[in-house]
Structure 1
Amino acid sequence: MAFWQGLINWLGYGHEGEEPVMEKPVLEAETTPVTPAKGKLVGLPTARNAMRLVIARPQSFEQAAGLAENLKNYRPLIVNVEGIPVEEARRIIDFLSGAAYALGGRVRKVTSGIFLFTTSNVDLSGDLEDQIPGGLNWLEAAGRGR
C-alpha cells in the first residue's frame, strides 16, 4: 500500500499536509526445525505383500524348470510326485532340490511322494521330521525303488 500512496503523492494527486505512511516491515518469525518423534515403525502384512505358496503335481520332467521359476521368485513350492514313474519323480525332485540348494533353501518331505521346497526367505519350524539332506530313500521306503 505504501508504494501506491507514494506514487499518488509523487504524481501530485495526494492530500496536502499528510505525511506518507511508512509500513513496518513484517519480520518472519524464526522457526525451529521440527524433528519427527522417534519411534519404531512396524509394517503390517497386507494382501499385497502376502507370500504365495505354489502347489504342483507335475506329470513330466519338462515341467520342472517352470516349477523352479517359482523358487527363483522366492515362492515356496509343494510338489506331489505320486502317481508318476519312479525315475521321472526322482529327476524332478533332484532338479528342484538343486534349485532350492542354490537359492539357500531347504527341502522337506511332507508325506511319501509330497515335498516342500523353500528358499532363504522362508523360516520353517515344526515337527516335519523327515528333512532330506541329499538322498531320496523315500522311494525305496515306499516300495517304489529299483
Structure 2
Amino acid sequence: MGVMDGLWRWLGVEREEVREEIIELPAYSEEGQRGPTNVVSIHSNKTFKVVVCEPESFDEVQVLADHLKSRKQLILNFDNTPPEVSQRIIDFISGTTYSLEGHSQQLGKNIFIFTPSNVEIAKDHRSLMRKHGFANPFGGER
C-alpha cells in the first residue's frame, strides 16, 4: 500500500481492487484427447489418380471399368481405335459410370473423360458461350 492509497482512504474514497483470475486450461495431448476437436486437416492423404488410355480392342474394357470401380478417373483417346470398337467401349464404360453415379464428358472429337462420383467435371463457361454462339458483349474478336 502506497502513500496515495493512504490519502484516498483518509478522504473516504476507497478503490476497488481488481483481481485477475487466471484459469489454466488442461494441456493438449493427442493421446489422451477423446472429445471433438476444432482442428481440421486441410490436407488429405488420398491422392486422385487419372488413367489415360488408348484402347485398341474391346478386351480392355473390363480393366477400364475396374479403374472406375477403384475411384480412378479415365481419359480415353479413341484416335487409333476402330469406330465400331470405340462405340462399344463408350457404351460399356458409360453404363459402368452411370451405375457408379459418376460423370462423363466428351473433351474432343475422339477423347472422353469418365469420373467416379467423388469427382465433378466443371464446365468452362467461356467455351459454352462460344459453342452456343453468344457474341462478345464488348465487341471485337477474341
Which range, TM-score by smaller chain? 0.5 to 0.7
From 66, 69, 79, the counterpart of 1:69: 66
> AA paired with 1:75?
K
Structure 1 residues 91-113: Cα deviation after superposition (integer angstroms, max 9, x where no partner): 01100000000000111001011
User: Which of 48, 52, 56 lines up with 1:51 in the alignment?
Assistant: 48
Give, in whole Å, the separation in 2 of the partners of 1:50 and 1:71: 15
Could you tell me which residue of structure 2 aligns to residue 118 of structure 1? Answer: 115
SS of residue paired to 2:81: coil
Q: Paired residue for 2:79? A: 82
- Unaligned 5+ segments in structure 2 are 1-25, 28-32, 129-142
Q: Corresponding residue for 1:144?
A: none
* TM-score normalised by length of structure 1: 0.59
2:106 & 2:40 partners in 1: Cα distance?
38
SS of 2:113 mapped into structure 1:
strand
The question of whether the paired residues in 1 share the 8 Å contact of 2:103 and 2:120 is answered with no
Q: Which runs of 5+ in 1 are unaligned?
A: 1-32, 130-146
Q: Secondary structure at the match of 1:66?
A: helix
TM-score normalised per structure 2: 0.60
> Given the superposition, is the C-alpha separation of residues 64 and 40 from structure 1 closer, same or farther in structure 2, using an over 3 Å criterion?
same
Pick closer, same or farther for the CA change 1:111–1:38 going to 2, 3 Å: same
1:124 deviates by 1.8
Count the aligned residue pairs.
Answer: 96
Question: Are the structure 2 counterparts of residues 37 and 87 from structure 1 closer, same or farther at C-alpha, using a change threshold of 3 Å?
Answer: closer
Q: Does 1:99 align with 2:92?
A: no
